[in-house]
Structure 1
Amino acid sequence: MPHADTPHTDAPTTSAVPPFDVPVVDISAYTAGGSAADRAEAARQMDIACSTVGFVQILGHGVPQAAIADLAGAVDDFFAQSLDEKKGHRAPGNRGYTPPKSESLSLSLGLESASRMNDFFEAFNIGAEARWYPELDLSEDDYGINVWPDIPDFRPRIEAYYDHAARVARTLTTVFADALDLPSDYFECLTDHSVDVLRMNNYALPEGTVTLDGELTGMGEHTDFGLVTVLWADRVAGLQVLGADGVWHDVQPLDGALLINLGDLTARLTNDRWTSTLHRVKPPIVDGTIKRRRSVAFFHDGNIDATIATLPSHLDADDGLAYEPITVRDHISAKLAGSRQGKANTAAVREAGRVLAAAKGGVA
């Protein structure tokens, strides 16, 4: 199985620790009509990747390069607006514009003081709306109404990519089901009205808006909340993943690849045999300026009313039941209350412990 190069770490590794790398899995057997044997091999490789790293580079995803180019152009058009224009697109819930330093993702793990929101990024979110599912009694508190800027062709460019990312996420859950020896449609009952969000992130802000004091956080240490995240990102340094060696490693996407990472809910399903990997963004500072970095994350989080419980086949993965069943709503609410409202998430004990071990130079 090929792997992506990751040339930099926060600290040197020793000969006793295997080199950190992000596995590459080609899923074209699922997207382009491969044989049963080819699908089984892709699922086998996915199982290895999810068990060892929790981040995966995927090829064969079928997203056209033109759709990615249109996405990048739309992101540029939105963030090129003035701060006042962007603030005009703030919206309730997990929608619209988020200004810089209004979130602290590490609080979703209960890690730091709530007195300051540190994260440097700005973002714009769209996602699944309640009215997409008229047959269900869904609340707009969970499935908010999208707001759209008056930018030429912005909405169709974003919606086109959203559809591709949603398809990739659904394909991945089929791969996951096969890898876990479940019925191929196992995840459908958990995701047929998934509370999905597409978040566009920007890490380059106008001069003078921040103090470059060496303590700047692009995006704090966190795990993603849901089932799986599909990430498009610039090939610019910044994204770091916490390895099993307790060291933060730089990760850059391969040309033509999408990054995926597992969320907390998939870790709960597998009793942590599959890893919800801690990651962060450290904005590169060159000669006192921030180098531009963009990313777009599609969060496939599951139905808001779904209950996530450890798979029976994985109850012995950690000497018995490690996680109590939880609804998607309750889990996401606790995480968002940390990152956006300054309320430390005291339930995220395992994730916080891994971060603290890394900060002390220990092995998580």
Structure 2
Amino acid sequence: MSQEFKIPHYISAPSTNEQLDYAELAIIDLSKSDTPEGRAELAIKARDAMRDIGFFYVINHGYTQEQNDRIFDIADIPFAHVTEEEKRKYEGKMLQTGSYQGYKLRNYWHIDNGVHDQLEHYNINRDVTKREHPESLRPLLPEIKEFSRHNHFKVLHPILRLLAVGLDLPEDTFVNVHGYDSVGETYVRFMKYYPRTEDEETKTNHVWLKGHTDFGTITILWSQPISALQILSPDGKWRWIRHLDNALVINAGDAMEFLSGGYYRATIHRVVQPPPDQRGYTRLGVFYFVMTDDDVKLNPHAESRVLQQHGIQRRFNDGDTPTMEQWRRGRTSAYGKTDLKKAEGGVEEEVINGVVVKHYN
């Protein structure tokens, strides 16, 4: 990745020294996916991880630590080097459009007890020319485009092949519906969480973002040092995600759960206040959120012999299955803006496209 355009270097917080209850996640070494034997081995590992937990790490993904550091430098630009006035100019219209392109500014989502979020993110479609961007980001668009392509072809596609093999489907089954140049909303997200007041922490029980599932197929999170991400483990306990230098954290979303007939889990995760030795820092994140092409119907791959043996969980009645576009528009416009129905155990619910979507508060 070129570093010709000079920008400030972003310095994150040091890793926590607190003794946290970490989730034990499998580590997928993508360098082994270059051979048929390596792919066969990794496919079993990825299948089991995605089925049992829904999260795993990826290492040896093709970026050096220096390139990783550069992308975090770029990620800070839309927050630290864009005025509030200019941010409003590029604010996304999630409620109206069902698309996250542009800024999601702070205080947009309701968390609990009248407290709204203190995070903002900037979303860039993999086609970086789809809309105009803040002035300070424009010289960096070639690097962001390169980063997007790397995520798509060097990380996403190898993972999709492993997951297809895990279902005993042809290797390119999922790759074929995740075209880089197709119509869709797969995007790079830069996200920044800001510290909150003690009163806000008390009112929300230290939850920064409610427990939820992602609505796409795959989420690629570039690991960063501030501990705040937790997953709901199969035993019902919230466990922390450990930071690994230059590693990626991969999870499945709703669309992958639908396509796999419930075999690959869209795991519930949340963001909470960091441990005491990391409080007071901002938390910068880098993501690649993945969806199929917009026109793909989210039907399970019933031709999979694995699913035929395991059983298929259908979330929609025949004929009512939404396309990826319908599902992501419904989830995007509703998130954090609808009145949720209280259920048992602190769970809140809403119905989107006929499916009950749960939020864990």
The letter of the residue matching 1:52 is D
1:232-265: per-residue Cα shift (whole Å, max 9, x none)? 1312110010100111111023122101100111
**Change over 3 Å in CA distance of 1:148–1:202 after alignment to 2:** same
Residue 157 (structure 1) shift: 3.2
Residue pair 1:271, 1:317 contacting (<8 A) in 2 also? no
Residue 57 (structure 1) shift: 0.3
Could you say what the CA RMSD is over the residues aligned between the two structures, in angstroms?
3.1
Gap regions ≥5 residues in structure 2: 1-17, 94-98, 341-349
**Aligned with residue 8 of structure 1, among 7, 20, 41:** 20
Distance 1:125 1:220 in 2: 20
Instruction: Tell me the SS of whatever aligns to 1:308.
Output: coil
Distance 2:19 2:316 in 1: 36
What does residue 169 of structure 1 align with? 156
Deviates more, 1:336-345 or 1:281-290: 281-290
Residue 328 (structure 1) shift: 0.5
Residue 202 (structure 1) shift: 0.4
**Change over 3 Å in CA distance of 1:89–1:322 after alignment to 2:** closer
**Change over 3 Å in CA distance of 1:320–1:293 after alignment to 2:** closer
Matches within 5 A, 1:242-281: 242-281=232-271
Residue 329 (structure 2) pairs with residue 333 (structure 1): yes
What does residue 170 of structure 2 align with? 183
The letter of the residue matching 1:329 is E
Residue 298 (structure 1) shift: 0.6
1:21-43: per-residue Cα shift (whole Å, max 9, x none)? 1111112122xx3x211110011
Residue 86 (structure 2) pairs with residue 100 (structure 1): no
Residue 119 (structure 2) pairs with residue 121 (structure 1): yes
**Change over 3 Å in CA distance of 1:290–1:323 after alignment to 2:** farther
Residue 288 (structure 1) shift: 11
1:321-341: per-residue Cα shift (whole Å, max 9, x none)? 444432101211221122154
Residue pair 1:51, 1:274 contacting (<8 A) in 2 also? yes
What does residue 306 of structure 1 align with? 296
Matches within 5 A, 1:285-296: 286=276, 290-296=280-286
Distance 2:231 2:210 in 1: 12
Gap regions ≥5 residues in structure 1: 1-5, 10-18, 107-111, 133-143, 360-364
Distance 1:276 1:177 in 2: 16
**Change over 3 Å in CA distance of 1:116–1:182 after alignment to 2:** farther
The letter of the residue matching 1:158 is I
Q: How many residues align?
A: 317
**Change over 3 Å in CA distance of 1:69–1:152 after alignment to 2:** farther
Distance 1:288 1:270 in 2: 38
**Change over 3 Å in CA distance of 1:343–1:310 after alignment to 2:** farther
**Change over 3 Å in CA distance of 1:96–1:116 after alignment to 2:** farther
Residue pair 2:126, 2:187 contacting (<8 A) in 1 also? yes
Matches within 5 A, 1:204-283: 204=194, 211-213=200-202, 215=204, 217-283=207-273
Percent identity, aligned pairs only? 23
